[in-house]
């Protein structure tokens, strides 16, 4: 019948309930989106016709009336009850298994029906279903439903119904919601399991019937934990619909249940968020646009802040709701497939600001998200971008200091310590350690973090901090100390190149702790000798290690192989390599040993052989034997070798091979490229790599990169550009190293000298204020920590590692600057200070750089006795550095000294000398200054000593550079030692003489300085070239002219040589005579000075 109101009122005055005007939720509650009635002839036409004449409620009623069938009364009754009635059963006109419409796969149903028919041939539906439930196969829910529908037993047992429901619930409930609800309805409420409630609640949510789902969840919460009864499905739906009142109502239900069950939510920690909160908010992560829903939640909190904080329970509910819900959204943002780091940074910055503004506690959110950042590789790796996790930590720290939240947790601080320690951020690590002490004064350090900090400080040579944490370990955990902890103290001193300190710590293992050093302890001590470049001590330690009975491993042979590779001693390297293989040490697959092969060939002057070995390593890497960093290191060495040799083309070739073979690039790859450019005079191009290319690829810039650019600009005399790079380096606050501090001193010195020149201050006693201030800062720094840094060195020459904490190399630069200024007294004072600092050190020897600077200052001051003493020191130190394994194993007796430097046997002795191949030039600067000092004394004894010195150097394999030879030959000629001068020139200089250039009055040539009028290109003159300089030939021409003039006057016959001097010279030095005779007569200043009488 029609509603009476319909007949007795006008269409616009129908007092019908609201549910008549809107389609009832149950129209499609059964999943029957297109049932049989929708296809019948009673369906109204689609056209609007005269619908616009009817009011909205009347039109809705007419449409509903036209679709009613025999079950209209029942359907209407269910709609009137709304969410308060049970609306889950399958529509009464649909038989079981039907009525799912397009949501069920018809083919699947047909197959399930066929399979059921086959099973029923041999069994009953009850037995077949029980067997199916027992075997629990995946994807057989359709068959289970057909078997359940075919049951003939009037009342299946409760357990059987529960098992059936559990199995049916393990499917897509959006398709089978009505089925599981029909089964659930047959289970008595008191017999329902928590899993039964969860399936039913999820089914209601799938039908978009949140009200019945909440009512059922409330019923379940009286017996079970709501987290096991489907609360996550309800929260997902309410959050998706932005129904925050319902969400909080449901969550409060959980909170009351937790209180009844005495569940302490305060003890739930952020690192276990997924385990604790996952059953509640796990599905909320799957909502669409989670960020928008989070913003809506925050807007809801802001709008209804008073109601949400009306009671303590409400405040508690809001706090825990945010604690459970917000981390899921943050995790979704963080794990975006294509992350936009700028957006992520802005999102988290604004999120915590908004949460704080709404009075929601943030410390649990900080505790969750900061470790989540640090678990992701892209945030653990170096980046030049802002560190969002660090900014969040600083915000948390400040909130606590302001009294608004709990302090940062130990776990977060530990994670940040390891993150900053991974990138050697000493200041950050120290700051985090202090925060740990401030925020957690009781039981501050646990065992894992103590050992990590002990290892971190040991690696960076910070012995005071290492000793401090070893004391903490010894006090708090005395029973767990083992040899590994003790060896870290040895390692700390080894990193500082403090051999006596390392030996002392090694002895403590036995003397103080009564433990037996293992292989690792011996390896650490051996590493200390290697860091000090002490071959004698390293071999002695190696032999003691073998005699102690420990089994050597890769780290035992590694340091010795490094010493061989650094000296270019191929023979010793291969012998040790073979010895390691005999002891079953896997050196063939070790990066250190294989890359050592490349290094030893480079040091021996065989880059082609080194490249062949590198190609073999590349093939091993491509086959999966080596990891990325190991093969990168090998190719970096090749680029660096060509860079130091000023071979830009080969450096670029090696780099292009790296790119072509997809070898990963790192900071030192770019450093090697930059050095090749700096050595070739392209410092601006190198600076562009530092300033643009490396940040664009998130490659870390170290102090060494800045040192290269500053040194390049200073060499090019571009002080202003060097200043900009210097200030940039200070602004980014890179960790300083000895190389960077030396470049800072050099920059400050050149700046001070330039200022004095502009002020026209010629007083040699004028102090270089900037240099001395920089030197003071350098001396106050922890030099031992800085020398522990593994960055390369900028200087080309080999020098002894400086021990302990007094950097004499810094004094060497300042002495050089004052010497250039002519302030010899100040230079002497600095030398005395540098030597005094280490006067009490056992077996101390000053570095060659300082001794060379001292020789130069003493020579210019005319203090030849001090020059002689310094020369003896520098020879002793050089002999130690160039010593090879053969010399250690077979010491040579002292060689007799001779005066002659033109003995043909001398060249053979030079080639046969068994010293480090790449260290033959170690004395070239000191030799030049010492020979100048001897020549300046103008006595026969000094000249004889100079000849003996050169003879000794050559016979021992040391290189004498081109300028030293030219100056000494000039001095011989000027001192009337004409035969010796011409013979030495013929033997050492003339073999590489390029000849004179063809002069043309219309062709302007730019000659290399010192090589005027010679057929030379600029790139043909290298550091190793031995070529007669123009001045040398002019001086020899003047001496030859004097010989010719004396012969014309009847003077110059030499009975010992059996002829006139002119004839003798033509016999012993024909090339020199030819060069003199063909020399262009240009009348330049040198010719006017020496050949004016011709």
Task: Write down the pLDDT at residue 628.
Answer: 59
Residue 929, strand partner residues: none
Three-class secondary structure of residue 783 per DSSP: helix
* pLDDT tier at 788, thresholds 50, 70, 90: confident
pLDDT in tens, 135-191: 888 888 888 888 888 887 667 788 888 888 888 888 788 888 888 888 888 888 888
- Contact between residue 135 and residue 105 where contact means Cβ atoms under 8 Å apart: no
Which among 284, 277, 271, 270 has a CA at the least distance from the CA of 227? 277
pLDDT value at residue 798: 58
Q: What is the DSSP letter of 1033?
A: H
Is residue 87 over pLDDT 60?
no
Can you give the pLDDT at residue 666? 92
Count the Cβ atoms, other than its own, within 10 Å of residue 8: 9
Phi, psi of 670 (to 5 degrees): -70, -35
- Termini Cα distance of the chain: 144
User: Mean pLDDT throughout 522-546?
Assistant: 92
Position 295 pLDDT exceeds 90? yes
How is residue 210 written in tokens?
């949140």
Q: What string of DSSP letters covers 884-907? A: -HHHHHSPPPPPPP-S-S--HHHH
Write the CA distances from 982 to 162, 974, 1039, 1057, integer angstroms.
113, 12, 10, 14
Q: Distance between CA 152 and CA 427 in Å, rounded?
A: 78
Q: Dump the DSSP string for 553-596.
A: -HHHHHHHHHHHHHHT-HHHHHHHHHHHHHTT--GGG-HHHHHH
For range 981-1000, the mean pLDDT: 91
Residue 234, burial from CB neighbour count under 10 angstroms (0-12, 13-18, 19+): buried
50, burial (CB in 10 Å: exposed 0-12, middle 13-18, buried 19+)? exposed
Express each pLDDT in 377-413 by its tens digit: 999 998 888 999 999 999 999 999 998 889 999 999 9
φ, ψ at 170 (rounded to 5°): -85, 55
One-character DSSP codes across 658-688: HHHTTPPP-HHHHHHHHHHHHHTT-HHHHHH
- Whether the predicted pLDDT of 422 surpasses 80: yes
Largest CA distance in the chain: 159
List, for residues 567-613, the tens digit of each pLDDT value. Answer: 899 999 999 999 999 988 888 888 778 889 999 999 998 999 999 99
Could you please report the per-residue DSSP string of 124-188?
-HHHHHHHHHHH--TT-HHHHHHHHHT---SS--HHHHHHHHHHHHSS-HHHHHHHHHHHHHTS-
pLDDT digits (tens, 9 = 90+) for 502-531: 999 999 999 999 999 999 999 999 999 999
Q: Which two tokens stand for residue 159?
A: 């357990």
């Amino acid at each position: 019948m029609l509603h009476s109101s319909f007949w007795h009122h006008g269409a616009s005055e129908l007092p019908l309930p609201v549910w008549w005007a809107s389609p009832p939720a149950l129209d499609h509650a059964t999943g029957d989106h297109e049932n049989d009635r929708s296809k019948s002839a009673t369906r109204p036409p689609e056209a609007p016709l005269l619908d616009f004449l009817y009011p909205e409620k009347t039109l809705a009623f007419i449409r509903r009336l036209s679709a009613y069938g025999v079950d209209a009364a029942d359907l209407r009754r269910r709609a009137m009850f709304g969410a308060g009635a049970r609306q889950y059963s399958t529509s009464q006109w649909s038989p079981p298994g039907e009525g799912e419409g397009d949501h069920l796969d018809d083919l699947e149903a047909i197959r399930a029906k066929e399979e059921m028919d086959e099973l029923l041939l041999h069994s009953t539906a009850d037995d077949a279903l029980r067997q199916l439930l027992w075997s629990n196969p995946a994807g057989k829910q359709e068959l289970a439903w057909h078997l359940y529908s075919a049951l003939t037993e009037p009342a299946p047992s409760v357990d059987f119904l529960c098992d059936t429901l559990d199995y049916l619930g393990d499917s897509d409930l959006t398709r089978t919601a009505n089925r599981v609800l029909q089964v659930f309805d047959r289970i008595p409420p008191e017999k329902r399991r928590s899993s039964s409630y969860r399936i039913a609640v999820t089914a209601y949510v799938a039908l978009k019937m949140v009200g019945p789902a909440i009512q059922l969840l409330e019923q379940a919460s009286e017996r079970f934990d709501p987290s096991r009864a489907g609360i996550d499905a309800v929260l997902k739906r309410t959050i998706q619909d932005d129904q925050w009142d319902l969400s909080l109502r449901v969550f409060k239900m959980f909170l009351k249940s937790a209180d009844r069950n005495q569940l302490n939510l305060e003890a739930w920690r952020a690192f276990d968020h997924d385990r604790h909160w996952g059953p509640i908010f796990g599905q909320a992560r799957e909502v669409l646009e989670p960020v928008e829903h989070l913003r809506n939640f925050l807007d809801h909190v802001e709008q209804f802040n008073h109601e949400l904080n009306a009671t303590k329970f409400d405040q508690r509910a809001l706090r825990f709701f945010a604690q459970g819900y917000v981390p899921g959204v943050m995790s979704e943002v963080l794990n975006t497939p294509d992350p936009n780091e700028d957006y992520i940074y802005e999102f988290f910055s604004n999120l915590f600001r908004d949460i704080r503004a709404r009075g929601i506690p943030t410390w649990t959110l900080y505790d969750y998200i900061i470790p989540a950042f640090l678990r992701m590789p892209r945030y653990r790796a170096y980046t030049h971008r802002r560190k969002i996790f660090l900014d969040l930590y600083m915000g948390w720290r400040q909130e606590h200091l302001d009294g608004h939240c709990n302090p940062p947790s130990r776990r977060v601080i530990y994670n940040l310590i390891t993150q900053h320690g991974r990138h050697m951020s000493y200041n950050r690590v120290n700051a985090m350690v202090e925060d740990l002490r401030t925020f957690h004064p009781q039981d501050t350090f646990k065992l894992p973090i103590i050992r990590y900090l002990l290892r971190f400080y040991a690696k960076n040579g910070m012995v005071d901090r290492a000793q401090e944490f070893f004391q903490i370990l010894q006090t708090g955990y005395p029973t767990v100390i083992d040899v590994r902890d003790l060896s870290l103290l040895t390692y700390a001193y080894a990193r500082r190149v403090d051999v006596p300190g390392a030996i002392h710590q090694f002895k403590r293992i036995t003397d103080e702790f009564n433990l037996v050093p293992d292989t690792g302890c011996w390896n650490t001590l051996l590493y200390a000798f290697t860091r000090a470049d002490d071959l004698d001590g390293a071999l002695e330690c190696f032999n003691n290690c073998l005699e102690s009975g420990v089994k050597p491993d890769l780290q035992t042979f590694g340091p010795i192989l490094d010493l061989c590779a650094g000296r270019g001693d191929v023979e010793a390297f291969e012998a040790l390599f073979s010895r390691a293989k005999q002891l079953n040490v896997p050196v063939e697959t070790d990066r250190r040993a294989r890359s050592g092969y490349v290094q030893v060939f480079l040091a021996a002057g065989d880059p082609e052989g080194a490249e062949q070995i590198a190609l073999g390593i590349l093939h091993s890497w491509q086959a999966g034997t080596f990891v990325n960093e190991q093969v990168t290191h090998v190719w970096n060495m090749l680029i660096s070798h060509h860079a130091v040799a000023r071979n830009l083309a080969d450096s670029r070739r090696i780099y292009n091979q790296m790119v072509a073979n997809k070898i990963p690039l790192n900071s030192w790859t770019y450093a090697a490229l930059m050095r090749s450019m700096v050595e070739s005079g392209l410092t601006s191009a190198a600076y562009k790599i530092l300033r643009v290319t490396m940040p664009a690829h998130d490659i870390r810039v170290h102090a060494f990169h800045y040192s290269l650019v500053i040194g390049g600009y200073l060499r090019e005399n571009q002080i202003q550009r060097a200043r900009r790079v210097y200030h940039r380096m200070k602004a980014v606050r890179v960790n300083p190293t000895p190389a960077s501090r030396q470049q800072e001193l050099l920059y400050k010195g050149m700046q001070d000298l330039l200022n004095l020149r502009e002020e026209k201050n010629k007083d040699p006693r004028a102090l270089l204020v900037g240099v001395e201030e920089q030197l003071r800062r350098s001396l106050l720094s922890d030099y031992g920590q800085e020398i522990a840094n593994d960055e390369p060195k900028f200087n080309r020459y080999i020098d002894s590692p400086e021990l302990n904490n007094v950097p004499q190399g810094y004094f060497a630069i300042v002495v050089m600057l004052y010497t250039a200024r002519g302030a010899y007294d100040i230079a002497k004072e600095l030398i005395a200070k540098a030597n005094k600092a280490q006067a009490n050190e056992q077996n101390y020897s000053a570095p060659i750089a300082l001794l060379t600077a001292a020789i130069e200052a003493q020579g210019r001051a005319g203090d030849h006795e001090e020059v002689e003493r310094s020369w003896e020191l520098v020879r002793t130190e050089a002999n130690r550095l160039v010593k090879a394994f053969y010399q250690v194993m077979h010491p040579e007796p002292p060689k007799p000294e001779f005066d002659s430097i033109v003995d043909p046997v001398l060249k053979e002795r030079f080639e046969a000398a068994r010293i480090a191949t790449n260290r033959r030039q170690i004395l070239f600067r000191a030799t030049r200054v010492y020979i100048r000092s001897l020549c300046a004394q103008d006595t026969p004894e000094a000249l004889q000593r100079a000849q003996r010195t050169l003879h000794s150097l050559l016979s021992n394999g040391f290189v004498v550079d081109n300028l030293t030879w030219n100056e000494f030959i000039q001095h011989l000629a000027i001192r009337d030692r004409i035969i010796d001068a011409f013979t030495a020139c013929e033997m050492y200089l003339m073999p590489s003489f390029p000849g004179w250039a063809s002069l043309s009055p219309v062709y302007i040539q730019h000659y290399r300085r010192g090589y005027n009028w010679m057929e030379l290109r600029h790139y043909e003159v290298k550091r190793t070239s031995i070529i007669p300089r123009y001045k040398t030939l002019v001086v020899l021409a003047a001496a030859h002219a004097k010989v010719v003039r004396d012969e014309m006057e009847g003077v110059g016959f030499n009975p010992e040589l059996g002829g006139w001097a002119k004839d003798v010279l033509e016999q012993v030095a024909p090339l020199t005579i030819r060069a003199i005779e063909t020399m262009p007569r240009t009348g330049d200043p040198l010719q006017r000075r020496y050949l004016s009488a011709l």
